[in-house]
Amino acid sequence: MIHGMLGRKIGMTQIFTETGERIPVTVVEAGPVTVVQVKTLEIDGYESVQVGYDPITKEKKINSPMRGHFKDVPPTRVLREFSVENIAEVSVGQTFDLTIFSVGERVNVAGTSKGKGFQGVMKRHNFKGGPGAHGSRHHRQPGSIGNSTTPGKVFRGKKMAGQMGNKRVTVRNLEIAKVLPEKNILLIRGGIPSHNGALVEILKAPTPTP
């Protein structure tokens, strides 16, 4: 069994539980993925499975390096590696779909967060900013960024203004609300990073050690 799945975020909605609780869910269209390459300890130094997602149908979109890599399987737009339970059971060409997930299971979801552009410290790091009025002239500024001759430098990692969002973010320990394997649709409780339509990786959350 593979420990992850690839999909696209579709959007959010709500569903009701039998007890009438309304829960927010993210709709993800995910899988199936095809095994493109099996990485073994002997050849690659580690064990993992490379899978492809989102097959390319247009012949002219496939270049010759791809032709070589996808020798025995249909070429896909996305390639990612996941760990598997037992590497010996996996072979190239095998497919995995959403049946690997069950309702109530915990997953981590990774995606590219929505880009917010170059943002100031108030939005980016939740700084308080200065007073709005009374002639302070210190409204959305970061304030002091360090001390004096000692240490004589600004410490590395100081929170400042800069690019916000548009980077990889993983949200952990999300609950699976529903699985529809025949439609390749997964409902995950809560929000996940990324724009609608963007690629997300759904990883099985490691089971907590008791």
Partner 1 sequence: MKQPLVQWIEDTHKRSDIEFPPVGAQVRVNYRIREGEKERVQAFEGLVIRRHDSPKHMGATFTVRKISQGFGVERIFPFQSPLIESIKVLRLGRVRRAKLYYLRKLRGKKARLREK
Rounded CA separation 193/113 (Å): 5
Task: Return the range that interacts with partner 1 (CB under 8 A); candidates 16-24, 104-112, 117-125, 126-134.
Answer: 16-24
Give the number of residues in contact with partner 1, rule: CB under 8 A.
Answer: 16
- In this chain, which of 66, 87, 185, 205 binds partner 1, going by CB under 8 A? 185
Considering only residues 190 to 209 of the shown chain, the ones binding partner 1 according to CB under 8 A are 196
Do residues 192 and 11 make contact, with C-beta atoms less than 8 angstroms apart? no
Rounded CA separation 145/138 (Å): 14
SS (H, E, C) 10-55: EEEEEEECCCCCEEEEEEEEECCEEEEEEECHHHHCCCEEEEEEEE
- In this chain, which of 2, 6, 27, 51 binds partner 1, going by CB under 8 A? 27
Task: Return the range that interacts with partner 1 (CB under 8 A); candidates 21-29, 41-49, 80-88, 105-113.
Answer: 21-29
**Residue 188 interacting with partner 1 (CB under 8 A):** no
**Residue 103 interacting with partner 1 (CB under 8 A):** no
Least Å from the CB of residue 77 to partner 1: 19
User: Could you say which DSSP state residue 188 is in?
Assistant: E
Nearer to partner 1, 1 or 180 (CB): 180
Task: Return the range that interacts with partner 1 (CB under 8 A); candidates 12-20, 98-106, 127-135, 144-152.
Answer: 12-20
Question: Which one-letter amino acid corresponds to residue 90?
Answer: V
Other Cβ atoms less than 10 A from the Cβ of 106: the count is 15
Considering only residues 57 to 86 of the shown chain, the ones binding partner 1 according to CB under 8 A are none
**Residue 16 interacting with partner 1 (CB under 8 A):** yes
Mention every residue, 6+ apart, whose C-beta is less than 8 A from residue 22.
14, 15, 16
The token duo for 22 is: 């309304």
| Binding-site ranges for partner 1 (CB under 8 A) | 10-16, 18-20, 22, 27, 29, 185, 187, 196
